[in-house]
Amino acid sequence: MKESYITTAIPYVNGNPHLGHAMDYLLADTLRRYMMYNGQKVRLQAGTDEHGNKNFKKAADQGVTVQKFVDQNSQKFQDFIHSLGVEYTDFIRTTDPDHERRCQEIWTKLSNHIYKDKYTGWYCEGCEAFVTDKERDDNHGECPDHKKPYVKLSEENYYLRISDFKDKIRNAIESDRLKITPTFRKKEFLNLLKNMPDVSISRPKEQVEWGIPVPGDDSQVMYVWIDALSNYITVLGYPDKDISGYWPAHTQIVGKDILRFHAGIWPAMLLGLGLPLAHNLLAHGFITANGEKMSKSVGNVIDPQDILAKHGLTPFRYYFLRHASTTDDVDFTWEKYEASYNELANDLGNLVQRLATLCKKNEISGQKVKKRENPDFDSRMQKYEFNFAFDILWDGISELNKRIDAEKPWALVKTNPDKAKEVLRKLVADLLTINDRLAIFLPDTAGQIEEIFTAKQIQPPATPLFPKN
Catalytic sites, residue numbers: 18, 21, 124, 127, 143, 146, 293, 296
258 touches ligand MSP by CB under 6 A:
yes
Min. distance of Cβ 254 from ligand MSP in angstroms? 5
C-alpha closest to that of 377 among 369, 367, 365, 385: 385
> What contacts 250, CB < 8 A, 6 or more positions away?
4, 5, 6, 35, 278, 279, 280
C-alpha dihedral sign at 268, 270, 274, 279: negative
By CB under 6 A, which span of 19-27, 98-106, 193-201, 371-379 interacts with ligand MSP?
Answer: 19-27
Pick the closer one to ligand MSP by CB: 74 or 374: 74
| Residues in 280-339 that interact with ligand MSP by CB under 6 A | 286-287, 293-294
Q: Which residues contact 213 (CB under 8 A, 6 or more apart)?
A: 104, 205, 220, 221, 222
Identified binder of ligand MSP from the candidate list 21, 51, 113, 311, rule CB under 6 A: 21
Within positions 70 to 99, which residues make up the interface with ligand MSP, using CB under 6 A?
A: none
Piece in contact with ligand MSP (CB under 6 A), picked from 134-142, 146-154, 224-232, 381-389: 224-232
CA distance 454 to 432: 8
Closer residue to ligand MSP in complex, CB, 66/229: 229
**Peptide bond just before 17 cis, omega within 30 deg:** no
Total residues in contact with ligand MSP, by rule CB under 6 A: 20
Among 4, 5, 24, 432, binds ligand MSP (CB under 6 A): 24
- Site membership for ligand MSP, residue 260 (CB under 6 A): no
Cα 388 to Cα 414: distance, rounded to the nearest angstrom: 40
Q: Which stretch binds ligand MSP (CB under 6 A): 101-109, 198-206, 223-231, 412-420?
A: 223-231
> Given candidates 49, 100, 385, 436, which one binds ligand MSP under the rule CB under 6 A?
49
Residues 6+ apart with CB under 8 A from 43: 3, 4, 5, 6, 89, 90, 246
CA 73 to CA 371: how far, in whole Å? 42
Q: Is 448 exposed, middle or buried (0-12, 13-18, 19+ CB in 10 A)?
A: middle
Q: By C-beta, is 43 or 293 nearer to ligand MSP?
A: 293
263/285 Cα distance (integer angstroms): 16
229 binds ligand MSP (CB under 6 A): yes
User: Of 20-28, 76-84, 154-162, 347-355, which part binds ligand MSP (CB under 6 A)?
Assistant: 20-28
C-beta closer to ligand MSP: residue 81 or 458: 81
- Member of 5, 20, 196, 359 binding ligand MSP (CB under 6 A): 20
264 lies in the site for ligand MSP, by CB under 6 A: no
For position 270 contacting ligand MSP by CB under 6 A, the verdict is: no
The reply to whether 385 sits near ligand MSP by the rule CB under 6 A is no
Q: Which is nearer to ligand MSP, 11 or 349 (CB)?
A: 11
- Residue 427: strand, helix, or coil: helix
Q: Tell me whether residue 145 or residue 436 sits nearer to ligand MSP (CB atom).
A: 145
Among positions 113-152, residues that touch ligand MSP (CB under 6 A) are none
Provide long-range contacts, Cβ within 8 A and 24+ apart, for 440-446. Answer: 440/30, 440/33, 440/34, 440/37, 441/30, 441/33, 441/317, 441/318, 441/321, 441/322, 441/386, 441/390, 441/393, 442/314, 442/317, 442/318, 443/33, 443/85, 444/85, 444/313, 444/314, 445/314, 445/348
- Selected from 26, 70, 129, 254, the binder of ligand MSP by CB under 6 A is 254
* Minimum distance, C-beta of residue 340 to ligand MSP, in the bound complex (Å): 18
Q: Contact 142/148 with Cβ under 8 angstroms?
A: yes
Would you call 329 exposed, middle or buried from its count of C-beta atoms within 10 A (0-12, 13-18, 19+)?
Answer: middle
For ligand MSP, which stretch binds (CB under 6 A), given 225-233, 379-387, 435-443, 446-454?
A: 225-233
- Answer yes or no whether residue 23 interacts with ligand MSP by CB under 6 A: yes
The residue (of 268 and 294) whose beta carbon lies closer to ligand MSP is 294
CA 322, CA 340: separation in Å to the nearest integer?
9
Contacts with ligand MSP, residue ranges (CB under 6 A): 9-12, 20-21, 23-24, 49, 228-229, 231, 254-255, 257-258, 286-287, 293-294
